[in-house]
Amino acid sequence: MMPARVLVSGSPHSDESLHGFVLRMAGCNRMAGLKWVLEQLGRRSISQLTDADDRKIACLFGADAQAVEEIVVRSRWLDGAHVHWVRGQEVTRPYLLRTPRPQWCPRCLAEFGYARVIWNFQLVTACHVHGVMLLERCSSCSRPLRWQRRSLLACTCGASLQDAPCLPADSSEKAVAGWINACLSPGTTVSAAEPWQGLLAGLSLDGGMRLLYAAGLRRDAGHRVGPGEAKAGLTTLECRLACGRAADRLSRLVAKPSDEDRAHLRQLIHVPALLAMSQDGTTAADRQLARSLSEVGLGVPPIHGRLSSRSHSAQLVLPGV
Ligand SMILES: [Zn+2]
Ligand SMILES: [Zn+2]
């Protein structure tokens, strides 16, 4: 059954997040929180919204059904993997998204008044428009921001999200955010200011994020990625540091490292994740670059013939990677 319709109607922006759109429209209709909206949709929590709700959401808010359909994050189990699609781009690892854990740019909320879907990506820690760090904790109550709040523009404690203090982002996180935005925005291109950014050119969004994750996840050579560690989801700060490490290590890798430096990079870069990508990357370019970086760049022995079957590659994949 289709829900009733609210008084103030509107459609989402093309780069708006579905959760943000629902919260924004609830606010436009002066609803105290999302309880009524969720009741209309037959959901208990905003985090339960799925791609099955898009027609109901469009109907409820009098929105253009096509516009809502385009901002919905689709997901499906495919060959045992939980695959997502964001604006048509495939994401093969659920931990590369952080949809249930919102983050925000104070200046975007102040200037544009809506939450961007790009903030749902784990590796996006900077605003590609304003060049400031994204935030995930309220500066007033220190609690993580939640979708389950009364207003898009305020924390559950009442503090304004638009007025939260902004800090400039560093170059590596701005480059990653700019590249991910370009992947999500057909017709948008970014120039590679640093050689490591050139590695991302030609890769799928999924492939580029997997490469960055593989390169930056380990804090140091002694850091072993434990079971479930990647799946648990990283904080914005942890991802910011991971982007910086990825930029540094990939820069060293493309700069023809000495044998000693290559041996050190083999300990720093999460080689099993690279090998997994060389086997099951979503595009030929993804697989080729992962193979080239692991074999030529890092000097890891190639996986040959039958040994490169799914069962063997599965052994090389650490839990959660
Ligand atoms: Zn911004
Ligand atoms: Zn707060």
Q: How far is the CA of 131 from the centre of ligand 1 (A)?
A: 7
Closest ligand by atom to 107 CA: 1
Question: How far apart are alpha carbons 130 and 109 in whole angstroms?
Answer: 11
Among all bound ligands, the one having the nearest atom to the CA of 139 is 2
Minimum-distance ligand to the CA of 162? 1
| Confidence at residue 75, expressed as pLDDT on a 0 to 100 scale | 86
pLDDT of residue 310: 38
Q: Which ligand is nearest to the CA of 174?
A: 1
Ligand 2 centroid from CA 13, angstroms: 26
How far does the centroid of ligand 1 lie from the alpha carbon of residue 190, in Å?
A: 17
Please tell me the predicted confidence (pLDDT) of residue 306: 37
**Which residues of the chain are modeled with pLDDT < 50?**
305-321
Cα separation of the two ends of the chain: 40
Instruction: Quote the ligand 1 centre to 192 CA distance (angstroms).
Output: 21
Instruction: Give the number of the ligand closest to the Cα of residue 129.
Output: 1
Give the closest ligand to the alpha carbon of residue 150: 2
- Give the other-Cβ count within 10 Å of 264's Cβ: 15
Ligand 2 center to 160 CA (angstroms): 8
Give the Å distance between the CA of 12 and the centre of ligand 1: 18
CA–centroid distance, residue 135 to ligand 1 (Å): 11
B/e letters for 30-50, b = 16+ CB within 10 Å, e = fewer, are ebebbebbbebbebeebeebe
> In this structure, what is the dihedral angle of CA atoms 39, 40, 43, 44, given to the nearest 10 degrees?
-10
Closest ligand to Cα 151: 2
Domain residues of the chain, as ranges? 1-72, 189-297
CA of 178 to the centre of ligand 1 (A): 12
Q: How far is the CA of 111 from the centre of ligand 1 (A)?
A: 8
Distance from residue 139's CA to the centre of ligand 2 (Å): 7
| pLDDT given for residue 44 in this prediction | 82
Å from CA of 11 to ligand 2 middle: 28
Give the tokens for residue 185: 């925005």
Cα gap 175→247, rounded to integer Å: 9
Ligand 2 center to 229 CA (angstroms)? 27
Ligand nearest to the CA of 146: 2
CA atoms of 88 and 98, how far apart (whole Å): 17
17: left (phi over 0), alpha (psi -120 to 50) or beta: beta
Residues in the chain: 321
For residue 118, which ligand has an atom nearest its CA?
1
The Å distance, Cα 172 to ligand 2 centre, comes to: 29
Integer angstrom CA distances of residue 106 from 24, 134, 166, 232: 15, 8, 7, 26
